[in-house]
Structure 1
Amino acid sequence: MSSTDKVFAGSIPKLYDEYLVPMIFSVYAEDIARRVAARSPTVLLEIAAGTGAVTRAVAAALPRGIRYVATDLNEPMLAVAAQRQADDDRIAWRQADGMALPFGNAEFDLVCCQFGAMFFPDRVKAYGEVKRVLKGDGTFVFNVWDRIEDNVLTHEATIALGKMFPDDPPRFMIRTPHGYHDRDVIRTDLERAGFRDIAIETRTEISRAPSAEYVAIALCQGTPLRNEIEARDASKLQAATDLVAEALRARHGLGAIEGKIQAIVIEAR
């Protein structure tokens, strides 16, 4: 993983929340919320909360009287999340590293994490931290993206950017968001961390956007892919965005576009 893969700063958090959340994250946040609500937790922790897509969905699905701690490594992402969330005294926002959770042993009924596990440098260690803070009968609910070929618009954008930078194509999407999809590896990592009751399933959805330009902005400017583009040539960010938009228009036409997205959802006890 590149050192810039985990950097969600500058204008990225706002664009991420405005563009990416409705395009690809909301539908999976609702799925996580349904799974969390089915467990009826009273004290829960969210890791890698980002701009709060899951937090908002889970909070809406749970009753009064719960305690909900939402964390993220990047404070700029949490700032957007806290601003977007209606006043809710059940929720505490806290900057935290998933590799070293600042909580006591057996403190939570449930831990959830949406599309964050791919960013952990040592997943077995991170899963061990989750197990440590969970009560004995607690549940870990999380998801990761499936391979990039099963996530159509992101795959097409990555191919297009490779044509702009043929000698050093940006590989953030392949390397990190879509780099941890082997179910056997995921299961083994969880087992090494001490989890035994593990359920893994594939969930396919459709991503929809009002235009190719919308998708291009979301991916090229609202994710750490932006850091990779600017590292190659900071003056080419808009040109790269335009190139991706044109490639998507060529394949999907003018106006609204859609494409398959696919994730892997895991529940471990």
Structure 2
Amino acid sequence: MTESDRMFAGSIPKLYDTLMVPMIFEAYAAEMAVLAAAGLPEAVLETAAGSGVVTRALAPRLGVGARYVVTDLSQAMLDHAATRQPPDGRIEWRQADALDLPFEDATFDVVLCQFGAMFFPDRVAGYAEARRVLKPGGRFLLSVWDRIEENAFADEVSHAVAALFPHDPPRFIACTPHGYHDVALIREELRRAGFTDIAIETREKASHAPSARHVATAYCQGTPLRNEIEVRDASLLALAMDRVAQAIAERHGNGPVSGKMQAHVVAAAG
């Protein structure tokens, strides 16, 4: 995974939040917020918060005296997330690496990470950090995408773009967001980090977009797939979007489109 994959820099944060978040992230964020708010935790840490979709869903559910620390490795994503959140004295925005958290041991009741663990260069280290900062009896909540074949739009985008570069197909979507789907591996890595009580549920939902062109723009301009295309041939970005839009329309129609998406939702305690 390259630095650009992790940092989501340039114009990507705004496009990601405007296009990708409503299409695939909001439905899972709503569920994550319910899980995280259960029991009215007094101190919550969110890692790999991205553009703040979970933050916007969770903050209204927390108590008036709660402390909510929202972190991400990318300052650009964190800055954008802060602009989307109403002023809230309970929230602290902080740039931080999930593998080296700048917090004392046993600080938080809940640590959560929605669709971020796939980007960790050392997931066991990231999980161990989450466990370190959890109070005794605290909960670690995370979600990761299932394999790409179970996620219609992602799979179709990946195939359409790969056809433009048959000798060097972009692999970001398949290898990073959808590259960490083995439930046995997830469970084993959590155990290696010290978690003993682990529950994993696979949840299917529907992804919705106003058009096939919206899907194409979201993936080709609002994710690091754009970087992969431009590194190979920047002049083909528009063509890549056209090919993706065509592939989505052929499969899902020319009006509003919907497709299956599927993820693993994990709750762990030490």
Equivalent pair of 2:42/2:63 in contact (CA under 8 Å): no
Match of 2:60 in 1: 60
Which amino acid in 1 is paired with 2:93? W
Q: In the alignment, does 2:196 pair up with 1:181?
A: no
Structure 1 segments unaligned to the other structure (5+ residues): none
Shift in Å, 1:3 = 3.7
Does 2:90 correspond to 1:90?
Answer: yes
Q: Which residue of 2 aligns with 1:217?
A: 217
Q: Deviations over 1:223-251 (max 9, x none)?
A: 11111111101121121111101111111
Where does 1:219-258 land on structure 2 (aligned, <5 Å)?
219-258=219-258
| 1:219 partner SS | helix
Corresponding residue SS for 1:164: coil
Residue type at the aligned position of 2:182: D
Separation in 2, partners of 1:218, 1:241: 9
- Cα distance, 1:63 vs. partner? 2.1
Deviation at 1:165, TM superposition (A): 0.7
RMSD: 0.8
Q: Deviations over 1:8-48 (max 9, x none)?
A: 01110000000011000000000100101113210010000
Measure how far apart 1:252 and its partner are: 1.5
Query: Equivalent residue of 1:143, what SS?
Result: strand
3-state SS of 1:4 partner = helix
Residue number in structure 2 paired with 1:108: 108
Q: Is the 8 A contact 2:50 2:81 kept in 1?
A: yes
Other-structure match for 1:206: 206
Counterpart position of 2:27: 27
TM-superposition CA deviations, 1:34-65 (whole Å, max 9, x none):
10111321001000000100001010211211
What amino acid is aligned across from residue 260 of structure 2 in structure 1? K
Letter of the structure 2 residue corresponding to residue 242 of structure 1 = D
CA distance in 2, matches of 1:93, 1:195: 27
Q: Aligned with 2:7: secondary structure?
A: coil
Q: Which runs of 5+ in 2 are unaligned?
A: none
Taking structure 2 as the reference length, what is the TM-score of the superposition? 0.98
Cα distance in 2, alignment partners of residues 169 and 7 from structure 1: 21
Q: Deviations over 1:50-86 (max 9, x none)?
A: 0100001010211211000000000110111000000
Structure 2 Cα separation of the partners of residues 120 and 164 of structure 1: 29
How much has 1:112 moved relative to structure 2? 0.5
2:258 partner letter: E
1: CA distance between counterparts of 2:260 and 2:19? 17
Task: Name the amino acid aligned to 2:22.
Answer: P
Aligned to 1:265: 265
Structure 1 residue aligned with 2:166: 166
Corresponding residue SS for 2:149: helix
- How big is each residue's C-alpha offset from its partner over 1:134-176, in whole Å with a ceiling of 9 and x where there is no partner? 1111100110000000000110010111111111111101110
For 1:89, the aligned partner's letter is G
Aligned to 1:12: 12
Matched position secondary structure for 1:263: strand
Whether contact under 8 Å (2:40, 2:63) holds in the other structure is no
Compute the displacement of 1:2 (Å).
3.4
Q: Which moved more, 1:227-236 or 1:45-54?
A: 227-236
1:62-77 correspondence to structure 2 within 5 Å: 62-77=62-77
Deviations 1:155-214 (A, max 9, x none): 001011111111111110111000001010000000000000000000100000000000
Give the TM-score normalised by the residue count of structure 1. 0.98
Spell out structure 1 runs of 4+ moving beyond 4 A. Answer: none
CA distance in 2, matches of 1:7, 1:72: 9
Q: Is 1:78 the counterpart of 2:60 in the alignment? A: no
